[in-house]
Amino acid sequence: MHVKKMAMMAILTTLLLIQEQALSFIPNVQFSTLLILLFASTFKLRDSLLMLFVYVVLDSLYMGALNPFYMVPMYLGWATLPVLYHTLIKKHENIYLMATLGLVGGFIYGVIFMPFAVLQTGVDPRIYLMADLPFQLIMATSNFITILWLYTPLKKIYGAMIPKEATQ
Amino acid sequence: MRKIWVTIGSMVMLAAALFIYDLSLEPNTAGTLTLTLSEAGVLVQEADHAFTEDDTLYTLLERHYDIECADASYAPSEACEPLSLSGVEGRILMHVNELETDWVTSYIEISVNGNKANYGIDQLPLKDGDIIDLNAVSLDE
């Protein structure tokens, strides 16, 4: 792997972590989905998944919870975004389609945690889903709106600042 | 222009969905309930508390006990601020008197009349004669 690319991946992963912590005072509102889709649009799927792995490990270390019941669903939840982007969206990228992916991603992220919470605490899955629904709605809507408004301008700045060879 | 309408539409839909969710919650009734504190299922404290229709389990706990809730970083905080700006309050109880949990390896399980509660301390409907148990559960055991 090219050194420039490795450095770029490290910087962008740090950015992902910092913005999440900076916005942590507003639950379920963050730019993580927006940034993950932005990174997925320029890096290969393999690289995006690697960045997300580092991000989840760092995030878990920072939060003091190296717990597989949090880390595994968190990774799976975030990894869904680049996987869906590379398999469904990449060839016909459209801002409304991207925003819808963010919207769906908000619900997928919440639902992925359910089996792990059921295994860990024995909670009824229906009750877990009902209790989590408001937070999924908030995350999905904030994903939709941030992608709709910020994806295109951010991608322009991102494209101007980050040389294409640094992501290949 | 289209983006503005789509944004307004999505925010209206979110507000409507949260409103409907709020309506789906059972209303409180006034009365008296029994609150027990347990550690790994062993009773450590028991008391009866009167409550009004405006009370929640959170307001009862705040009035009668020393409590701490999770802040946005899941650290215990005496401020006990709701973890939401959307109107759906979602406090996470971490400490109640001698019960102490850290959310990572332990948590407080809420039971109502012997059954696991469907809601947390902000949404749980209170009924006259309920027996509510707050049990500190360790995930390491």
Q: Give the ipTM.
A: 0.77
Helix (H) or strand (E) holding B47: strand B42-51
Model pLDDT, residue A165: 67
Binned at pLDDT 50, 70 and 90, residue A160 comes out as confident
- CB nearest to B6's CB, from A26, A135, A148: A148
Q: How many CB atoms lie within 10 A of CB B132?
A: 22
Q: Indicate if the pLDDT at residue A42 is higher than 80.
A: yes
What is the CATH number for A130?
Answer: 1.10.1760.20
A51-63 per-position pLDDT tens digit: 999 999 998 888 7
Å from B4 to nearest chain A CA? 9
Does A127 sit within 8 Å of B118, measured CB to CB?
yes
Q: Is B16 on the interface with A (CB under 8 A)?
A: no
Are A147 and A99 within 8 A, CB to CB?
yes
Length of chain B in terms of residues written: 141
Does B72 sit within 8 Å of A27, measured CB to CB?
yes
Does A145 sit within 8 Å of B73, measured CB to CB?
no
Confirm or reject CATH 3.40.50.300 for domain B28-138, answering yes or no: no
Model pLDDT, residue A121: 76
Model pLDDT, residue A79: 97
Å from B63 to nearest chain A CA? 25
Place of tokens 């910092």: A18
Q: How many CB atoms lie within 10 A of CB B109?
A: 18
Domain ranges of chain B: 28-138
Domain count within chain A? 1
Which range is least confidently modeled, A3-12, A55-64, A88-97, B20-29? B20-29
Chain B interface, best mutation among A61, A144, A146, by max B CB count within 10 A? A144
Characterise A86 by phi-psi region: left (phi > 0), alpha (psi -120 to 50), beta (else): alpha
- CB nearest to A26's CB, from B21, B85, B139: B85
B65-101 per-position pLDDT tens digit: 999 998 877 789 998 887 655 455 678 899 999 999 9
Q: Indicate if the pLDDT at residue A23 is higher than 70.
A: yes
Q: Where in the sequence is the domain holding A124, given as residue range(s)?
A: 3-166
- CB nearest to A25's CB, from B72, B105, B139: B72
pLDDT along chain B (141 residues), means of 10: 91 90 80 96 95 93 95 84 64 93 89 89 91 91 62
CB pairs under 8 A between A and B: 65
